[in-house]
Amino acid sequence: MDKILVTGGAGFLGSHLCDHLIERGDDILCVDNFYTGSKRNVSHLFNHPHFEMMRHDVTFPLYIEVNKIFNLACPASPVHYQHDPVQTTKTSVHGAINMLGLAKRVKARILQASTSEVYGDPDVHPQPEEYWGRVNPIGIRSCYDEGKRCAETLFFDYHRQHKVDIKVIRIFNTYGPRMHPNDGRVVSNFIVQALRGEEITMFGDGQQTRSFCYVDDLIEAMLRMMDSPADFTGPVNVGNPSEFTMLQLAETVLKLTGSTSKIVYKPLPQDDPRQRKPDISLVQAKLNWTPRVSLEDGLKETIAYFKTVLV
Ligand code: NAD
Ligand code: UDP
Ligand code: UDP
């Protein structure tokens, strides 16, 4: 049986990952400082004999014994990561150093949840892994983008210098049940606004694009990456290449909720990427993975979840 550390395990993606690992029969240590995550996301696992929860901030050292590490700790929504930008960079960079130091000491395999944000506002479309990105180093998104880029640097240097067994996935926009209602990301915002009959807040003209992956598809890819041969380190893109404008997303959410909410236009935040779509040929070839859940089907599940938490 594997003893697995999941940092950020009480968050949106982390809690789904813990569910899948427990189902598989693994022994889980879930570490989280509850900055954006919540005990509620994993409370159904508290009595499970193979699940343990620890409140801990990954910017501080952690001495434990495990053989696999999923490093997910980091706020992911622009609203949250910009709330305390210094802490965001510390979490990405100091968190990576501590988790890599741990992996080195106990000889654990370690997977980093990196992000499509390493490509910034891209001038190559769709984005392949070879693209180095177009990132503003001093803007309001930089704490996240550059923090995640530096974490990738650390992963590859620990790999080259200390032979740490690493895996790096670049996650594109992922959504699903357990996103926080006040998370600030577009899918949760639009669904919550539609269900409450509030105005739909469209930033900019709504022509910017994103490609949305349903959480179950994403977790499947993450598990396959962790169990892939050691010579495949990544970085590898993981996401759904179906691309939508934010206006198309709003219209789909309005249709599926039957809401009569009106769309209102707000200023586009600084450095907001105009387009984003993963090139997934590498993950398809190496991990034989392809996303299966359509946007409409995934949104239906997510809407059903928000109906239960908004009552
Ligand atoms: P989330 O905010 O729901 O989860 C992040 C978790 O990390 C939370 O539980 C939070 O409390 C915890 N955390 C934050 N700082 C911490 C610290 N210093 N120490 C310990 N725990 C800390 O976000 P998510 O969507 O589940 O994202 C998980 C990971 O995946 C993040 O690393 C994020 O950058 C990455 N990612 C997510 C997406 C996406 O679309 N969801 C896209 C790209 C990358
Ligand atoms: N570290 C940790 N747990 C461990 C081993 C190391 O948290 O089991 C942290 C420790 O705080 C250290 C960091 O990881 O600062 C990097 O470790 P490394 O061995 O690479 O560096 P060094 O200890 O030589 O600075
Ligand atoms: N967005 C929007 N209204 C909202 C929240 C976000 O129009 O209420 C836009 C945002 O400007 C961006 C896109 O939706 O262009 C995706 O935003 P999100 O914060 O979900 O993710 P990211 O920008 O990090 O991909």
Q: Is residue 203 in contact with ligand 3, taking CB distance under 6 Å?
A: yes
Q: What is the CATH number of the domain that holds 35?
A: 3.40.50.720
List average pLDDT for each run of 10 residues in the chain, which is 311 residues long.
94 98 97 97 97 98 98 96 97 98 98 98 95 97 98 98 98 97 95 98 98 98 98 98 98 98 97 95 98 98 96 72
Is 186 among the domain residues?
Answer: no
Tell me what pLDDT residue 256 has. 98
Name every protein residue with a CB atom under 6 angstroms from any ligand 1 atom: 7-8, 10-14, 32-37, 57-59, 72-76, 91, 95, 113, 115, 171, 173-174
For residue 23, which phi and psi values (nearest 5 degrees)?
-60, -35
Instruction: Kindly state whether residue 29 falls inside one of the protein's structural domains.
Output: yes
Report if residue 42 sits inside a domain.
yes
Taking CA atoms only, the protein residue closest to ligand 1 atom 23 is 76
Q: Is residue 138 part of a domain?
A: yes
- Nearest residue by C-alpha to atom 21 in ligand 1: 32
pLDDT attached to residue 130: 98
- 143 is a domain residue: yes
Flag whether 267 is in a domain. no
Q: Which residues are catalytic?
A: 144
CB 253 within 8 A of CB 191: yes
Residue 206 Cα: closest atom of ligand 3 = 7
Residue 258 lies in a domain: no
CB-defined site of ligand 2, < 6 Å: 61-63, 97-98, 101-102, 104-105
Q: Per the domain annotation, does 146 fall within a domain?
A: yes
Give the pLDDT score at 1. Answer: 72
pTM, to two decimals: 0.97
Domain range spanning residue 69?
A: 3-175+214-239+278-292
Q: How many domains does the chain have?
A: 1
